[in-house]
A and B are shown apart, each in its own frame.
Chain A
Amino acid sequence: MTVDVDVKTLVIDEQEVSARAGQTILEVAQENDIKIPTLCHLDGLGDVGACRLCLVEIKGSNKLLPACVATVQEGMEVSTNTERLQKHRRSILEMLFAERNHICSVCVSNGHCELQTLGQEQGLTHVRLPYRNPELTVDASHERFTVDHNRCILCTRCVRVCSEVEGAHIWDVMGRGIDSIIITDLHQEWGSSACTRCGKCVQVCPTGALFDKSKVGSDHPKYPDFLLQLNLMREAQ
C-alpha cells in the first residue's frame, strides 16, 4: 500500500527541511525549531496575515511573504531573520506603539504583553515615529470583561476565536485603515451584546485591550494555550 503524501523539500535559514504540500512556512519553521516572530497568529486559530511580523524573504523574489499564510513550494529558499527583516519588524512594532496609546507602565497586561515582549526581543528601546495620541474609548459595560481600544492592535484574534471556536461571532471590525476598531454585535455595548461570556477573546488577546475585571494591576497573565487543548478534545469526539 502506498501512502499518498505530497512531500515538499525546501531550505529555511540554510537548514534543509521537508514539509507536506499545503503547509505554511510558519508551520514548517515551528516544526523545525526555527523561531519566526508572530503577533496576529495564534496556534489553534485561522491565519489572516494581518500584523506582518512574520514576513520572510524568499530567494529569487523581491516580495516579502507573511510566513503564516504563505505555503511551502518545492525548492524554496527561505530566510527568516535577515537584517532587512529585522529592520522591518522593528518598524512594524514602532508603528503599532505609535498608533494608539500603549502606556505599558499602567497597563493591566504590563509584564504579560506580547507586544511589549516582542518589542524587547526585537531590540526596541524607543519609537522613532511621532505618537498619534488618538482619543479612544473604553467599554466597561460587560459584567466580567473590559475592552480598552487604546491598547488594541487590531490583530483580530478575538474576532476569529469568537467566530471560529466559540461560534458566537459577536466581535468584528468596523471602519477602514487607521480608523478601524473592533466592535461587539453591530457596534452595541459589549454588556448588552449577544456575548456568551465565555472569555475566550480575553485569553487570546495579546495585549491589555481585552481584560478580566476581576484582575487588578499587572496580575493578569493570559492562557491562550487552552485553544490547542480544546481543539484536540473536539477532534477526539
Chain B
Amino acid sequence: MSKLKLATVWLDGCSGCHMSFLDMDERLIELAELVDVVYSPIVDTKQFPDEVDIALVEGAVASVDDEKKIKKIRAHSKMLIAIGDCAVAGNVPSMRNPFGPEAILNRAYIENADTQQQIPCVVVPKLLRVVRPIHEFVKVDVFLPGCPPSADTFHTALTALITGEPLDIPALTRFGA
C-alpha cells in the first residue's frame, strides 16, 4: 500500500498545535511508516500539493491570505481536519472580533509604539473584519478541539483516521483542553 499524503497547515494560530503534534515524539516514526508529510511548516515545500489525503489545519481564518489558503487546501484535500480551538472555534485570535481589526492595529502599531508609528500595509495580508473558524468557509471533515489537542489525542485520532477505526473525539478532548 502506498503511503497516504499528509499536509499540515498553520493559519492564525500560535503553532502550539504543531508543537503538540511534534510532541508525539517517537510515535512520529511509526506515523512516518504510514504517511508522507508532503506539506508543512516543517517541510520545505512552498506550494500546497495538488493531491493530499489528509490535511491538518491549525489556526483560524483571520486574513484574506488565510481565506485563499483554506479554499485551496479544501480543493486539494480528501480529508480536512480542523486541529485546535482556533481552527475549530476561533479561540484567542477571535477575541478581537467585538472590537474590529482597526482598533487592534491602532493599539499595536500606533498607541503602543514608541517610534515609527505606522500600520503595516505592504506584503502583510489584509485582516478580515471578523476572525472565523475554518468550517465557516469550507467543509471540515473532522474537528479536533483543544488548546492544543494533546500529543496522545493527535496519536489516537490520526491512527484511527488512517486505519479507518472508530474514533470518539469527545472522549479524547474538548474546547480548552
Hey, which bits of chain A sit against chain B, CB under 8 A?
A: 97, 101-107, 110-111, 113, 116-117, 119-121, 123-128, 130-131, 133-136
Interface-side segment among B70-78, B83-91, B112-120: B83-91
Interface-side segment among B1-9, B20-28, B42-50, B92-100: B92-100
Question: What residues on A are CB-neighbors of B143 within 8 Å?
Answer: 125-126
Given A105-B85, A105-B147, A133-B130: A125 in contact with B169 (beta carbons within 8 A) = yes
Given A131-B94, A131-B132, A135-B98: A126 in contact with B145 (beta carbons within 8 A) = yes
B170–A133 contact, CB under 8 A? no
B145–A125 contact, CB under 8 A? yes
Which of these, B88, B98, B136, B176, contacts A101 with CB under 8 Å?
B98
What's the nearest-Cβ distance from chain B to residue A221, in Å?
Answer: 15
Indicate the member of A97, A107, A110 with the most B CB atoms within 10 Å: A110
| Chain A CB within 8 A of B82 CB | yes
B176–A107 contact, CB under 8 A? yes
Which of these, A116, A123, A126, A128, contacts B82 with CB under 8 Å?
A126
Give 6 A-B pairs besides A111-B176, A127-B89 with Cβ atoms closer than 8 angstroms. A101-B97, A104-B174, A125-B88, A131-B132, A133-B130, A134-B98
Indicate the member of B90, B132, B145, B175 with the most A CB atoms within 10 Å: B175
Interface string of B152-177 (1 = CB under 8 A from A): 00000000000000000110001110
| Distance in angstroms between the alpha carbons of A49 and B24 in the assembled complex | 45
Indicate the member of A106, A107, A125, A136 with the most B CB atoms within 10 Å: A125
15 A-B residue contacts at CB 8 Å?
A: A101-B95, A104-B147, A104-B176, A105-B92, A105-B147, A105-B176, A106-B92, A113-B176, A119-B174, A125-B88, A127-B133, A130-B136, A131-B89, A131-B90, A136-B98
Nearest first, the 10 closest Cβ-Cβ pairs linking A and B are A104-B176, A105-B147, A133-B97, A135-B98, A120-B174, A125-B143, A104-B175, A126-B143, A110-B176, A105-B176
Question: What residues on A are CB-neighbors of B91 within 8 Å?
Answer: 103, 105
Question: What residues on B are CB-neighbors of A124 within 8 Å?
Answer: 170, 175
| Distance in angstroms between the alpha carbons of A49 and B157 in the assembled complex | 38
Indicate the member of A106, A111, A121, A131 with the most B CB atoms within 10 Å: A131
| Distance in angstroms between the alpha carbons of A104 and B145 in the assembled complex | 11
| Distance in angstroms between the alpha carbons of A117 and B173 in the assembled complex | 11
**How many interface contacts (CB-CB < 8 Å) are there between A and B?**
74
What's the nearest-Cβ distance from chain B to residue A179, in Å?
Answer: 15
Question: What residues on B are CB-neighbors of A130 within 8 Å?
Answer: 132, 136
| Distance in angstroms between the alpha carbons of A125 and B173 in the assembled complex | 9
Question: What residues on A are CB-neighbors of B144 within 8 Å?
Answer: 125
What's the nearest-Cβ distance from chain B to residue A48, in Å?
Answer: 26
| Chain A CB within 8 A of B135 CB | yes
B97–A131 contact, CB under 8 A? yes
| Distance in angstroms between the alpha carbons of A130 and B130 in the assembled complex | 11
A119–B97 contact, CB under 8 A? no
Closest B residue by C-beta to A100: B98
Question: What residues on B are CB-neighbors of A110 within 8 Å?
Answer: 176
Question: What residues on A are CB-neighbors of B90 within 8 Å?
Answer: 131
What's the nearest-Cβ distance from chain B to residue A65, in Å?
Answer: 27
Closest A residue by C-beta to B85: A105
What's the nearest-Cβ distance from chain A to residue B72, in Å?
Answer: 22
A104–B98 contact, CB under 8 A? no
